[in-house]
Chain A
Amino acid sequence: MTETVVYLQPAFILQQRKYRETSLIIDALTRDFGRISLLAKGVRKTKSKTAGMLQPFIPLTISYFGKAELKTLTDVEMIQPFSQIKGLALYCGFYINELVACFLHKYDPHPEVFGHYRECLSGLADGAGMEAALRLFELNLIECSGYGLQLEYDDKQHPIASAKKYDFNVGLGPVEAGRGQFSGRTFQALSTRELIDPQVLSEAKLLMRTVIDVYLQGRQLKSRAVINNIMKHTGGERGLQTYRQSQHISNGVGGVITPSNMKNE
């Protein structure tokens, strides 16, 4: 590999691990170079100026260089202003970070995913549109990574009718079924990216979850398991009620699957 030097590249940190005494190994999503690994030397010292910035969910511009797979971080700056995400939205943030790590290969540039990621974070910071922001990001991420879903036509090439019921087959797309799990309205809303109705949102959640699980090929999302556990501890539905009442959201990341909403086939 030749020596690369990159200056002021827009990026978000997805995950960081401690390395040696004072350094970090960072997994970052950059705009023009995709997902990369960086070594940030000496940033955990007491007098470090960058430790506060090297956190997930903060829009940064980073400079780095290196020949090998692991690049060395030289400079980092924060892009102001940005909306901080807090509370429950933080867990959703961890979830989308894990999704990005699962769906994008390293060093595979996806500038459009970077844009969707940024939009999703501002949706999460907003609070009210958290659920919709997550669904849109999932949908866009799947599409950008080459697994786009058929949402306009059913398996027999008929346009989706809003009143009809469908099942979803990841290979074929919507399949008309009298007692299907998803209404045509959900597919239409997903294809126009207008997710507002609560019924549509909850069906979209189940749909996206099924699709993601198929593409993960049995790999478990750690963040989802931890978040389910968190929900259980805070009393699940009851514990976060106060928050939900003010924000009109439900557990955006999938929550505990109850037998009633689990896919049976």
Chain B
Amino acid sequence: MHRKGLLGQLIQNLCCLPGVGPKTAQRMAFHLLQRDRNGAKMLAQTLLRAIEEMGHCRQCRTLTEDDLCDICADNSRDDSIICIVESPADVWIVDQATVFKGRYFVLHGRLSPLDGIGPDELGLDQLEQQLATGRIKELILATNSTVEGEATAYFISELARKHRVPSSRIAHGVPMGGELEFTDSGTLSHAFNGRVEM
């Protein structure tokens, strides 16, 4: 349903958000206009500022409005360990969930030969420059547990080997509190292949 006018346009534009269809967009638009005009104004201003000012961190390629992101600028963090992730969202998730106190490197994607996405698209020459400085002592490969994520991890581990930096892959298998009965067979077979000594 396409309504004309500003309201229709607002509803349509809200649909660009993930998980928001026409119905939700309609609710959002009416709520903002009827109940929370102040909030809407703030949202619009922040959104505009973020779009204009946010760029990528010079060092780790995550999203930031500064030259260096908070994590890279934080002196208390360990410079010698780098965690490789696929997206800026992963940086947040890993940082909240783990005790990891090193730095990150964001690929903004994964190697995907069938889509023609290679090392150049992932900024890996930048990572290689960092590896070449000799400052890095360990790489943690936290790419997704998909075939493409696996291929990416393998490639980066080869790069690291070239520069004599040890690299490790995050473990995958049975989730915490998971019962074997309800674990899917793919995960379970992976868990068996990657079992650890006790």
Contact = CB atoms under 8 A, between A and B. Distances in A.
B19 interface: yes
Contacts of A94: 113-114, 151
Contact of B118 (A80, A101, A226, A234): A226
A21 interface: yes
Given A223-B113, A226-B111, A234-B159, A52 B186 contact: yes
B181 interface: no
A230 interface: yes
B154 A88 contact: yes
B113 A91 contact: yes
Nearest to A56: B147
Interface string B134-173: 0000000000011100110011001101100000000000
Contact of B113 (A57, A80, A227, A233): A227
Interface residues of A, number: 39
A84 B194 CA distance: 12
A66 B111 CA distance: 32
Interface centre among B117, B120, B155, B186 (most CB of A within 10 A): B186
Interface in B95-128: 111-120, 124-125, 128
Contact of B161 (A77, A226, A233, A242): A242
B130 interface: no
B174 to A, nearest CB: 12
Contacts of B45: none
B114 A223 contact: yes
A85 B99 CA distance: 32
B158 A240 contact: yes
Interface residues of B, number: 33
Contacts of B147: 55-57, 90, 93
Contacts of B159: 233-234
B184 interface: yes
Given A53-B186, A97-B114, A223-B114, A239 B151 contact: no
B146 A55 contact: yes
B186 A230 contact: no
B129 to A, nearest CB: 12
Interface of B: 18-19, 111-120, 124-125, 128, 145-147, 150-151, 154-155, 158-159, 161-162, 184-187, 189-190, 193
Interface of A: 15, 21, 49-50, 52-53, 55-58, 77-78, 80, 84, 86-88, 90-91, 93-95, 97-98, 101, 222-223, 225-227, 229-230, 233-235, 239-240, 242-243
Given A222-B114, A226-B111, A226-B117, 8 more contacts: A49-B184, A52-B184, A57-B147, A78-B186, A87-B154, A94-B113, A229-B118, A243-B158
Q: Which 8 A-B pairs have the closest CB atoms?
A: A52-B186, A223-B113, A222-B116, A226-B118, A94-B113, A226-B113, A229-B118, A53-B186
